[in-house]
Amino acid sequence: MFKKKKKKSQPPPHLILLSIISSGAWQIQIQKHEQKNKLIRLIQDVMALEESSSIPDSSFLQVSLLNPFKLFHKRNVITDDYDVTSQVLGKGINGRVLEAFHRESGAKYALKMLQDCPEARREVELHWRVSPCHHVVPIIDVYENLHQGRKCLLVIMECMDGGELFSHIQDRGKGNLAFTEREASGIMKSIGEAVRFLHSINIAHRDVKPENLLYTSKRPDALLKLTDFGFAKEITTVNSLATPCFTPYYVAPEVLGPEKYDRSCDMWSLGVIMYILLCGYPPFFSHHGLAISPGMKRRIRNGQYDFPKPEWCDVSEEAKQLIRHLLKTEPTQRMSIGEFMNHPWITRSVEVPRTPLHTSRVLREEQEVWEKVKEEMTNALQTMRVDCDQIKIKTIDDSTNPLLLKRRKKSQNSATQLPGQ
């Protein structure tokens, strides 16, 4: 299935495998590492800090543990280490996902196949950087192999056996177990932790949607994790606007700060997902039982949504208020991830009422249109993504700002005058 390269390079002198297990603790396997004892002491120090009550958020500590380690692309054939099956687990933006088993341990993993290109390498690199977060599907290994004559990146990830977020909730309804507002709050907190981790290290996911939120297992205590970083983007700060050739005060806010615009795309997604969690249907589409509206984009631009009966009758006002802050039509007015995580509905999730919701029932009733709903959300996100490279910021020479034109004309007149005149 996978061909060996003619000149096989030696594997790196050490292999470090860091992954997150369901409990959130570190699972560490170290082989042939020259500074093994030093690394173990570092890990112990970080884990001790995580247990300290003085540390507000342990997820940020995890960055310091993983950042020192470079992502190694293995050159040996993947089948040396894994048995790859033909079972398709899913399909991402840039490649399909197959089932794979580690030969030595027998553990099951997910294998994502990407055709090697700059975009694929960027996806893998950004995904690797955020893998320490316990609400992100971690990368375990990356291989560079030839497949059908083409150079590919083969990414081994944790296998998410629990399925997609809303399928998980839909199954809850089969056992007559009511899905509650308190549970919705806990889910949004988990998603928020993933987004906060990304934004804290200047990465925007830009494709947060239901099918990219997966559970580790079918168990009630399974972890929810974010995956698929095909549209993820490293956010640059205003340093690119600091050069003298730019006039940052001239451009509109959404152009001046594309890094904020990219982040706000993630916040809009949180609003849509939260809305669906609380009622079973999305805000900018037709309500359950009706055809998908062709005016979806217009509704998003105009912020046309409401909280109709009967699904929203018993939902708390705090939850509705939070949704309103997330679904602001002006990107710069949406709340940040920090504001979201500090909202009482998130911080005091254990105090959120256990109000039974209609979500499971509605999801089951509208199962046949759910694929269309996901497609529409994908299209909506596509229109919201901003590629900073395509944004043209006017230079001083191109600017038509009245003040600049006046000063330029005055400067030209002064230059044409002869000395002594």
- 112 assigned to a ligand binding site: yes
Active-site residue numbers? 207
Residues 339-356 as b/e (b if ≥16 CB within 10 A, e otherwise) read ebbebebbeebeebeebe
Radius of gyration of the chain (CA): 25
Q: How far apart are CA 384 and CA 254, in angstroms?
A: 12
Query: Which residues are known binding-site members for ATP?
Result: 112
